Structure 1
Amino acid sequence: MRTIFLAILFVLSFSSVPATAAEGLPARFVYLRDVAPDIVQDIRYAGWHNFLGRPVKGYDAPECILTLEAANALKAVQEELNASGFGLKVYDGYRPKRAVADFAAWSKAISDQIAKNEFYPAEDKKDFFDKGYVALKSGHSRGSTVDLTIIPWPPRPGESYTPGQELKPCTAPYDVRFNDGALDMGTGFDCMDPKSAPLSNDVPLVARHNRLLLRTLMEKHGFAPYEAEWWHFTLKKEPFPDTYFDFPVAAPAK
Protein backbone atom coordinates (compact mmCIF):
# COMPACT_ATOMS: atom_id res chain seq x y z
CA MET A 1 0.00 0.00 0.00
CA ARG A 2 2.85 2.38 0.87
CA THR A 3 4.41 1.73 -2.55
CA ILE A 4 1.14 2.58 -4.33
CA PHE A 5 0.75 5.78 -2.27
CA LEU A 6 4.27 6.96 -3.15
CA ALA A 7 3.64 6.20 -6.81
CA ILE A 8 0.49 8.33 -6.77
CA LEU A 9 2.39 11.21 -5.14
CA PHE A 10 5.09 10.91 -7.80
CA VAL A 11 2.55 11.17 -10.64
CA LEU A 12 0.72 14.06 -9.00
CA SER A 13 3.93 16.01 -8.48
CA PHE A 14 4.61 15.94 -12.22
CA SER A 15 1.03 16.68 -13.22
CA SER A 16 1.09 19.83 -11.10
CA VAL A 17 4.09 21.34 -12.94
CA PRO A 18 2.88 24.38 -14.94
CA ALA A 19 2.67 23.84 -18.68
CA THR A 20 5.33 26.48 -19.31
CA ALA A 21 7.89 24.45 -17.38
CA ALA A 22 7.21 21.47 -19.63
CA GLU A 23 7.72 23.74 -22.65
CA GLY A 24 11.19 24.72 -21.54
CA LEU A 25 10.53 27.76 -19.35
CA PRO A 26 10.91 27.82 -15.58
CA ALA A 27 7.70 27.56 -13.59
CA ARG A 28 5.65 30.80 -13.52
CA PHE A 29 7.31 32.11 -16.70
CA VAL A 30 5.26 32.54 -19.88
CA TYR A 31 5.53 33.83 -23.41
CA LEU A 32 3.77 37.18 -23.47
CA ARG A 33 2.07 36.30 -26.76
CA ASP A 34 0.29 33.40 -25.01
CA VAL A 35 -1.24 35.77 -22.45
CA ALA A 36 -1.68 38.98 -24.46
CA PRO A 37 -1.25 38.19 -28.16
CA ASP A 38 -2.32 41.68 -29.28
CA ILE A 39 0.63 43.41 -27.61
CA VAL A 40 3.13 44.27 -30.34
CA GLN A 41 6.65 42.95 -29.83
CA ASP A 42 9.81 44.63 -31.12
CA ILE A 43 12.49 42.71 -29.23
CA ARG A 44 15.48 44.87 -30.05
CA TYR A 45 18.23 42.78 -28.45
CA ALA A 46 17.42 39.81 -30.68
CA GLY A 47 18.31 41.90 -33.74
CA TRP A 48 20.65 44.60 -34.96
CA HIS A 49 18.80 47.78 -33.99
CA ASN A 50 20.10 48.39 -30.48
CA PHE A 51 22.92 50.24 -28.75
CA LEU A 52 25.38 47.39 -29.34
CA GLY A 53 24.59 47.34 -33.05
CA ARG A 54 24.28 43.54 -33.08
CA PRO A 55 22.26 40.67 -31.56
CA VAL A 56 22.90 40.22 -27.84
CA LYS A 57 24.06 36.95 -26.29
CA GLY A 58 21.18 34.95 -24.88
CA TYR A 59 18.56 36.27 -27.31
CA ASP A 60 18.00 33.34 -29.63
CA ALA A 61 14.53 34.51 -30.72
CA PRO A 62 12.56 37.79 -30.81
CA GLU A 63 10.24 36.77 -27.99
CA CYS A 64 9.07 38.57 -24.86
CA ILE A 65 9.15 36.24 -21.86
CA LEU A 66 7.82 37.38 -18.48
CA THR A 67 6.53 35.98 -15.24
CA LEU A 68 2.83 35.16 -15.42
CA GLU A 69 2.07 37.93 -12.93
CA ALA A 70 3.81 40.57 -15.03
CA ALA A 71 2.22 39.31 -18.25
CA ASN A 72 -1.28 39.45 -16.75
CA ALA A 73 -0.66 42.99 -15.49
CA LEU A 74 0.47 44.08 -18.97
CA LYS A 75 -2.64 42.51 -20.45
CA ALA A 76 -4.74 44.75 -18.20
CA VAL A 77 -2.80 47.83 -19.33
CA GLN A 78 -3.29 46.83 -22.96
CA GLU A 79 -7.03 46.40 -22.50
CA GLU A 80 -7.37 49.81 -20.88
CA LEU A 81 -5.36 51.47 -23.65
CA ASN A 82 -7.35 49.70 -26.36
CA ALA A 83 -10.53 51.29 -25.05
CA SER A 84 -9.03 54.70 -25.90
CA GLY A 85 -7.56 53.82 -29.28
CA PHE A 86 -4.03 52.95 -28.12
CA GLY A 87 -1.98 49.86 -27.33
CA LEU A 88 1.40 48.65 -26.14
CA LYS A 89 4.64 47.76 -27.86
CA VAL A 90 7.29 45.92 -25.84
CA TYR A 91 11.01 46.16 -26.55
CA ASP A 92 12.28 43.78 -23.89
CA GLY A 93 11.11 41.61 -21.04
CA TYR A 94 13.08 38.87 -19.31
CA ARG A 95 16.82 39.28 -19.96
CA PRO A 96 19.29 36.44 -19.29
CA LYS A 97 22.29 37.11 -17.07
CA ARG A 98 24.53 36.26 -20.03
CA ALA A 99 23.00 39.19 -21.92
CA VAL A 100 23.74 41.54 -19.02
CA ALA A 101 27.33 40.27 -19.05
CA ASP A 102 27.46 40.93 -22.78
CA PHE A 103 26.38 44.53 -22.16
CA ALA A 104 29.14 44.92 -19.56
CA ALA A 105 31.83 43.44 -21.80
CA TRP A 106 30.73 45.68 -24.68
CA SER A 107 30.87 48.74 -22.43
CA LYS A 108 34.51 48.00 -21.63
CA ALA A 109 35.39 47.74 -25.34
CA ILE A 110 35.56 51.51 -25.77
CA SER A 111 36.43 51.41 -29.48
CA ASP A 112 33.23 49.52 -30.37
CA GLN A 113 30.86 52.43 -31.01
CA ILE A 114 29.02 51.38 -34.15
CA ALA A 115 25.63 52.55 -32.82
CA LYS A 116 26.77 55.74 -31.05
CA ASN A 117 25.15 58.17 -33.50
CA GLU A 118 21.68 56.95 -32.55
CA PHE A 119 21.76 55.62 -29.02
CA TYR A 120 24.30 57.79 -27.17
CA PRO A 121 25.09 60.74 -29.46
CA ALA A 122 26.08 63.11 -26.63
CA GLU A 123 27.49 60.63 -24.10
CA ASP A 124 30.97 59.20 -23.65
CA LYS A 125 30.96 55.42 -23.58
CA LYS A 126 33.68 55.27 -20.94
CA ASP A 127 31.23 56.86 -18.47
CA PHE A 128 28.45 54.30 -18.92
CA PHE A 129 29.00 52.46 -15.62
CA ASP A 130 29.40 55.66 -13.60
CA LYS A 131 26.21 57.13 -15.06
CA GLY A 132 24.20 53.92 -14.63
CA TYR A 133 23.52 53.31 -18.31
CA VAL A 134 25.01 49.81 -17.94
CA ALA A 135 25.16 47.72 -14.76
CA LEU A 136 26.47 44.33 -13.72
CA LYS A 137 22.99 43.21 -12.65
CA SER A 138 19.58 43.90 -14.17
CA GLY A 139 16.08 43.60 -12.78
CA HIS A 140 15.12 42.24 -16.20
CA SER A 141 16.83 38.99 -15.24
CA ARG A 142 14.22 38.47 -12.51
CA GLY A 143 11.50 38.22 -15.16
CA SER A 144 9.08 40.96 -14.08
CA THR A 145 10.67 44.03 -15.66
CA VAL A 146 9.62 45.28 -19.07
CA ASP A 147 10.65 47.99 -21.55
CA LEU A 148 7.74 49.34 -23.55
CA THR A 149 5.92 52.25 -25.15
CA ILE A 150 2.47 53.30 -26.35
CA ILE A 151 1.34 52.97 -29.96
CA PRO A 152 -1.80 54.01 -31.84
CA TRP A 153 -4.43 51.27 -32.18
CA PRO A 154 -4.72 49.54 -34.54
CA PRO A 155 -0.92 49.58 -34.93
CA ARG A 156 0.55 51.64 -37.74
CA PRO A 157 3.70 50.51 -39.56
CA GLY A 158 6.93 52.20 -38.61
CA GLU A 159 10.29 52.36 -40.30
CA SER A 160 12.13 49.15 -40.98
CA TYR A 161 15.74 48.95 -39.88
CA THR A 162 18.55 47.72 -42.14
CA PRO A 163 21.98 47.09 -40.60
CA GLY A 164 24.43 49.71 -41.80
CA GLN A 165 21.85 52.38 -42.53
CA GLU A 166 22.41 55.98 -41.47
CA LEU A 167 21.68 56.42 -37.77
CA LYS A 168 19.81 59.46 -36.50
CA PRO A 169 20.18 60.72 -32.91
CA CYS A 170 17.62 59.33 -30.48
CA THR A 171 17.34 62.85 -29.07
CA ALA A 172 16.36 64.39 -32.40
CA PRO A 173 12.81 65.71 -32.95
CA TYR A 174 10.08 63.12 -33.43
CA ASP A 175 9.89 63.64 -37.20
CA VAL A 176 13.66 63.28 -37.58
CA ARG A 177 14.72 60.33 -35.38
CA PHE A 178 13.96 56.69 -36.15
CA ASN A 179 10.19 56.21 -36.21
CA ASP A 180 9.06 52.79 -35.03
CA GLY A 181 5.36 53.66 -35.04
CA ALA A 182 5.15 54.65 -31.37
CA LEU A 183 3.79 57.87 -29.91
CA ASP A 184 6.26 60.69 -29.31
CA MET A 185 8.01 59.99 -26.01
CA GLY A 186 10.64 62.68 -26.37
CA THR A 187 13.47 60.26 -27.22
CA GLY A 188 13.81 56.90 -28.87
CA PHE A 189 13.96 53.66 -26.90
CA ASP A 190 17.26 52.96 -25.11
CA CYS A 191 18.39 56.53 -25.60
CA MET A 192 21.32 57.06 -23.24
CA ASP A 193 20.75 60.69 -22.44
CA PRO A 194 19.35 62.79 -19.56
CA LYS A 195 16.30 63.50 -21.73
CA SER A 196 15.22 59.89 -21.20
CA ALA A 197 14.41 60.55 -17.55
CA PRO A 198 10.62 60.16 -17.31
CA LEU A 199 10.06 63.53 -15.64
CA SER A 200 12.50 65.51 -17.80
CA ASN A 201 11.18 68.90 -18.88
CA ASP A 202 13.66 68.99 -21.75
CA VAL A 203 11.24 67.26 -24.13
CA PRO A 204 8.12 68.56 -25.94
CA LEU A 205 4.86 68.92 -24.03
CA VAL A 206 3.17 66.17 -26.06
CA ALA A 207 5.98 63.78 -25.11
CA ARG A 208 5.62 64.64 -21.43
CA HIS A 209 1.89 63.94 -21.72
CA ASN A 210 2.51 60.57 -23.38
CA ARG A 211 5.09 59.61 -20.76
CA LEU A 212 2.66 60.52 -17.99
CA LEU A 213 -0.07 58.41 -19.61
CA LEU A 214 2.24 55.39 -19.78
CA ARG A 215 3.47 55.90 -16.22
CA THR A 216 -0.02 56.40 -14.81
CA LEU A 217 -1.41 53.22 -16.37
CA MET A 218 1.60 51.11 -15.49
CA GLU A 219 1.49 52.25 -11.87
CA LYS A 220 -2.26 51.65 -11.76
CA HIS A 221 -1.68 48.02 -12.71
CA GLY A 222 1.09 47.35 -10.24
CA PHE A 223 4.32 48.48 -11.88
CA ALA A 224 6.97 50.82 -10.50
CA PRO A 225 8.79 53.23 -12.84
CA TYR A 226 12.54 53.67 -13.15
CA GLU A 227 13.52 57.32 -12.82
CA ALA A 228 16.22 57.26 -15.51
CA GLU A 229 14.28 55.61 -18.36
CA TRP A 230 10.73 56.43 -19.41
CA TRP A 231 10.28 52.96 -20.97
CA HIS A 232 11.36 50.83 -17.97
CA PHE A 233 8.94 49.38 -15.37
CA THR A 234 9.12 46.60 -12.76
CA LEU A 235 6.19 44.78 -11.21
CA LYS A 236 6.05 45.83 -7.55
CA LYS A 237 5.00 42.39 -6.33
CA GLU A 238 7.44 40.47 -8.49
CA PRO A 239 7.51 36.75 -7.67
CA PHE A 240 11.31 36.44 -7.86
CA PRO A 241 12.70 39.59 -6.20
CA ASP A 242 16.04 37.98 -5.36
CA THR A 243 16.55 35.50 -8.20
CA TYR A 244 18.44 36.29 -11.40
CA PHE A 245 17.84 33.77 -14.20
CA ASP A 246 20.04 32.83 -17.13
CA PHE A 247 17.95 30.61 -19.42
CA PRO A 248 18.04 31.88 -23.04
CA VAL A 249 15.25 33.78 -24.75
CA ALA A 250 14.20 31.09 -27.20
CA ALA A 251 11.22 30.39 -29.42
CA PRO A 252 8.38 28.28 -27.99
CA ALA A 253 8.71 24.54 -28.50
CA LYS A 254 6.60 23.30 -31.42
Structure 2
Amino acid sequence: MPLSPATERPTTAARAKEAVANRTRLLAVLAVLTILTRLPSFARTPWNPDEGYLATQARQLADGGVLYDTVVDRKPPFVPLLYRGAFAVFGDGSLWPVRVAAVVAVVVGAALAASLASGRWGERAGWTAGICYVFLSVGLKPEDTQAATFEVFMLPWTVAAIWYAERARWLGAGLAVAGAVLSKQTGGAVLLPVLVLLWQHRAGWPAVVRVAAGAALPVVIAALAFDPGRFLY
Protein backbone atom coordinates (compact mmCIF):
# COMPACT_ATOMS: atom_id res chain seq x y z
CA MET A 1 0.00 0.00 0.00
CA PRO A 2 1.62 3.32 -1.00
CA LEU A 3 2.34 5.82 1.72
CA SER A 4 0.48 9.09 1.72
CA PRO A 5 2.44 12.36 1.59
CA ALA A 6 1.50 12.92 5.23
CA THR A 7 3.18 9.62 6.12
CA GLU A 8 6.25 10.26 3.97
CA ARG A 9 6.99 13.68 5.38
CA PRO A 10 7.69 12.57 8.97
CA THR A 11 9.88 9.74 7.63
CA THR A 12 11.91 12.17 5.55
CA ALA A 13 12.13 14.61 8.45
CA ALA A 14 13.23 11.81 10.77
CA ARG A 15 15.96 10.78 8.36
CA ALA A 16 17.16 14.36 8.03
CA LYS A 17 17.16 14.73 11.81
CA GLU A 18 19.15 11.52 12.20
CA ALA A 19 21.65 12.68 9.57
CA VAL A 20 22.20 15.94 11.45
CA ALA A 21 22.58 14.06 14.73
CA ASN A 22 25.14 11.72 13.16
CA ARG A 23 27.16 14.62 11.77
CA THR A 24 27.08 16.31 15.18
CA ARG A 25 28.28 13.13 16.92
CA LEU A 26 31.05 12.67 14.37
CA LEU A 27 32.22 16.27 14.70
CA ALA A 28 32.27 15.93 18.50
CA VAL A 29 34.30 12.71 18.29
CA LEU A 30 36.76 14.27 15.85
CA ALA A 31 37.18 17.31 18.09
CA VAL A 32 37.82 15.18 21.18
CA LEU A 33 40.26 12.90 19.38
CA THR A 34 42.14 15.87 17.93
CA ILE A 35 42.46 17.53 21.32
CA LEU A 36 43.64 14.29 22.94
CA THR A 37 46.19 13.48 20.24
CA ARG A 38 47.58 17.03 20.26
CA LEU A 39 47.68 17.54 24.03
CA PRO A 40 51.43 16.72 24.12
CA SER A 41 52.09 19.88 22.12
CA PHE A 42 50.69 21.92 25.04
CA ALA A 43 52.25 19.88 27.85
CA ARG A 44 55.72 19.74 26.30
CA THR A 45 57.17 21.80 23.47
CA PRO A 46 59.43 19.71 21.21
CA TRP A 47 61.74 21.82 19.04
CA ASN A 48 60.66 22.20 15.44
CA PRO A 49 62.77 24.40 13.13
CA ASP A 50 59.82 25.56 10.99
CA GLU A 51 57.79 26.50 14.04
CA GLY A 52 60.75 28.31 15.56
CA TYR A 53 61.42 30.28 12.44
CA LEU A 54 57.75 31.13 11.97
CA ALA A 55 57.79 32.60 15.47
CA THR A 56 60.96 34.52 14.61
CA GLN A 57 59.33 35.92 11.47
CA ALA A 58 56.26 36.96 13.45
CA ARG A 59 58.40 38.84 15.98
CA GLN A 60 60.37 40.53 13.20
CA LEU A 61 57.15 41.59 11.49
CA ALA A 62 55.89 43.00 14.78
CA ASP A 63 59.08 45.07 15.03
CA GLY A 64 58.51 46.61 11.60
CA GLY A 65 60.11 43.95 9.43
CA VAL A 66 58.91 43.36 5.88
CA LEU A 67 58.17 39.86 4.61
CA TYR A 68 60.49 38.74 1.77
CA ASP A 69 62.73 41.74 2.46
CA THR A 70 64.03 42.10 6.01
CA VAL A 71 62.69 38.68 7.04
CA VAL A 72 62.66 35.86 4.52
CA ASP A 73 61.58 32.24 4.29
CA ARG A 74 61.00 30.13 1.18
CA LYS A 75 57.31 29.78 1.97
CA PRO A 76 54.13 31.72 1.09
CA PRO A 77 52.80 34.35 3.50
CA PHE A 78 49.67 32.78 5.04
CA VAL A 79 51.24 30.91 7.98
CA PRO A 80 53.76 33.63 8.95
CA LEU A 81 50.92 36.14 8.99
CA LEU A 82 48.78 33.73 11.02
CA TYR A 83 51.56 33.59 13.63
CA ARG A 84 51.87 37.37 13.50
CA GLY A 85 48.14 37.78 14.11
CA ALA A 86 48.11 35.26 16.96
CA PHE A 87 51.05 36.98 18.66
CA ALA A 88 49.43 40.40 18.23
CA VAL A 89 46.28 39.22 20.01
CA PHE A 90 47.70 36.84 22.65
CA GLY A 91 51.33 37.90 23.01
CA ASP A 92 54.48 36.20 21.77
CA GLY A 93 55.56 34.53 24.99
CA SER A 94 54.03 31.17 24.11
CA LEU A 95 53.08 29.06 21.11
CA TRP A 96 49.76 27.94 22.59
CA PRO A 97 47.62 30.24 20.35
CA VAL A 98 48.99 28.71 17.14
CA ARG A 99 48.77 25.24 18.67
CA VAL A 100 45.05 25.90 19.25
CA ALA A 101 44.79 27.07 15.63
CA ALA A 102 46.42 23.78 14.60
CA VAL A 103 43.74 21.83 16.51
CA VAL A 104 41.03 23.77 14.69
CA ALA A 105 42.73 23.14 11.33
CA VAL A 106 42.91 19.39 11.94
CA VAL A 107 39.24 19.22 13.01
CA VAL A 108 38.16 21.14 9.90
CA GLY A 109 40.23 18.92 7.60
CA ALA A 110 38.96 15.75 9.25
CA ALA A 111 35.33 16.91 9.04
CA LEU A 112 35.67 17.72 5.34
CA ALA A 113 37.35 14.37 4.65
CA ALA A 114 34.54 12.61 6.51
CA SER A 115 31.94 14.51 4.48
CA LEU A 116 33.63 13.52 1.22
CA ALA A 117 33.82 9.86 2.19
CA SER A 118 30.22 9.79 3.45
CA GLY A 119 28.96 11.21 0.19
CA ARG A 120 30.82 8.64 -1.87
CA TRP A 121 30.68 5.47 0.21
CA GLY A 122 28.30 5.96 3.13
CA GLU A 123 28.26 6.82 6.81
CA ARG A 124 30.76 4.20 7.97
CA ALA A 125 33.31 5.39 5.42
CA GLY A 126 32.81 8.95 6.67
CA TRP A 127 33.64 7.96 10.25
CA THR A 128 36.64 5.97 9.06
CA ALA A 129 38.01 8.81 6.93
CA GLY A 130 37.58 11.44 9.63
CA ILE A 131 39.18 9.37 12.39
CA CYS A 132 42.04 8.25 10.14
CA TYR A 133 42.71 11.89 9.21
CA VAL A 134 43.10 12.79 12.88
CA PHE A 135 45.40 9.90 13.70
CA LEU A 136 47.48 10.24 10.54
CA SER A 137 48.04 13.92 11.32
CA VAL A 138 50.12 12.83 14.33
CA GLY A 139 51.48 9.66 12.74
CA LEU A 140 55.12 10.72 12.40
CA LYS A 141 57.70 11.90 14.93
CA PRO A 142 56.30 14.35 17.50
CA GLU A 143 58.85 17.07 16.65
CA ASP A 144 57.06 17.46 13.32
CA THR A 145 53.47 16.37 13.86
CA GLN A 146 52.83 18.14 17.17
CA ALA A 147 54.02 21.45 15.75
CA ALA A 148 51.82 24.14 14.20
CA THR A 149 53.59 24.13 10.85
CA PHE A 150 52.81 24.74 7.19
CA GLU A 151 51.41 21.28 6.45
CA VAL A 152 48.83 21.42 9.24
CA PHE A 153 47.31 24.56 7.76
CA MET A 154 47.73 23.51 4.12
CA LEU A 155 45.82 20.23 4.32
CA PRO A 156 42.35 21.59 5.22
CA TRP A 157 42.53 23.82 2.13
CA THR A 158 43.37 20.85 -0.09
CA VAL A 159 40.47 18.80 1.26
CA ALA A 160 38.17 21.81 0.91
CA ALA A 161 39.17 22.16 -2.75
CA ILE A 162 38.00 18.60 -3.45
CA TRP A 163 34.89 19.09 -1.30
CA TYR A 164 33.84 22.12 -3.34
CA ALA A 165 34.73 20.48 -6.66
CA GLU A 166 32.62 17.40 -5.86
CA ARG A 167 29.66 19.73 -5.41
CA ALA A 168 30.44 21.69 -8.60
CA ARG A 169 31.16 24.85 -6.63
CA TRP A 170 34.00 25.87 -8.88
CA LEU A 171 34.83 29.30 -7.51
CA GLY A 172 35.03 27.85 -4.00
CA ALA A 173 37.28 25.08 -5.29
CA GLY A 174 39.59 27.62 -6.90
CA LEU A 175 39.75 29.76 -3.76
CA ALA A 176 40.59 26.68 -1.69
CA VAL A 177 43.41 25.85 -4.12
CA ALA A 178 44.73 29.38 -3.58
CA GLY A 179 44.52 28.92 0.18
CA ALA A 180 46.56 25.73 -0.10
CA VAL A 181 49.17 27.43 -2.30
CA LEU A 182 49.45 30.41 0.03
CA SER A 183 50.00 28.04 2.96
CA LYS A 184 52.69 25.97 1.23
CA GLN A 185 53.66 25.81 -2.42
CA THR A 186 53.07 22.06 -2.73
CA GLY A 187 49.41 22.66 -1.89
CA GLY A 188 49.01 23.66 -5.52
CA ALA A 189 49.09 19.97 -6.44
CA VAL A 190 45.40 19.75 -5.48
CA LEU A 191 44.58 21.70 -8.64
CA LEU A 192 45.04 18.50 -10.67
CA PRO A 193 42.25 16.46 -8.99
CA VAL A 194 40.04 19.56 -9.05
CA LEU A 195 40.48 19.73 -12.83
CA VAL A 196 39.80 15.99 -13.11
CA LEU A 197 36.51 16.46 -11.23
CA LEU A 198 35.70 19.43 -13.44
CA TRP A 199 36.22 17.23 -16.51
CA GLN A 200 34.06 14.46 -15.00
CA HIS A 201 31.27 16.96 -14.39
CA ARG A 202 31.65 18.18 -17.99
CA ALA A 203 31.15 21.64 -16.56
CA GLY A 204 32.49 23.58 -19.53
CA TRP A 205 34.57 26.72 -19.90
CA PRO A 206 32.64 28.90 -17.42
CA ALA A 207 33.63 26.46 -14.66
CA VAL A 208 37.26 26.49 -15.87
CA VAL A 209 37.24 30.29 -15.67
CA ARG A 210 35.83 30.20 -12.11
CA VAL A 211 38.46 27.72 -10.93
CA ALA A 212 41.27 29.65 -12.61
CA ALA A 213 40.09 32.98 -11.22
CA GLY A 214 39.62 31.62 -7.71
CA ALA A 215 43.04 29.96 -7.73
CA ALA A 216 45.00 32.77 -9.36
CA LEU A 217 43.59 36.04 -8.03
CA PRO A 218 44.49 35.59 -4.30
CA VAL A 219 48.02 34.54 -5.26
CA VAL A 220 48.39 37.54 -7.59
CA ILE A 221 47.08 39.86 -4.86
CA ALA A 222 49.58 38.40 -2.38
CA ALA A 223 52.39 38.84 -4.90
CA LEU A 224 51.45 42.48 -5.49
CA ALA A 225 51.20 43.11 -1.76
CA PHE A 226 54.72 41.81 -1.08
CA ASP A 227 56.40 42.95 -4.34
CA PRO A 228 56.10 40.43 -7.20
CA GLY A 229 59.85 40.00 -7.67
CA ARG A 230 60.61 39.25 -4.02
CA PHE A 231 57.49 37.09 -3.69
CA LEU A 232 58.45 34.96 -6.71
CA TYR A 233 62.07 34.68 -5.63
Query: More helix by proportion, 1 or 2?
Result: 2
More RCO (CA 8 Å, sep 6+) = 1
Radius of gyration: which is bigger?
2
TM-score normalised by structure 1 residue count: 0.26
TM-score normalised by structure 2 residue count: 0.28
Query: More strand by proportion, 1 or 2?
Result: 1
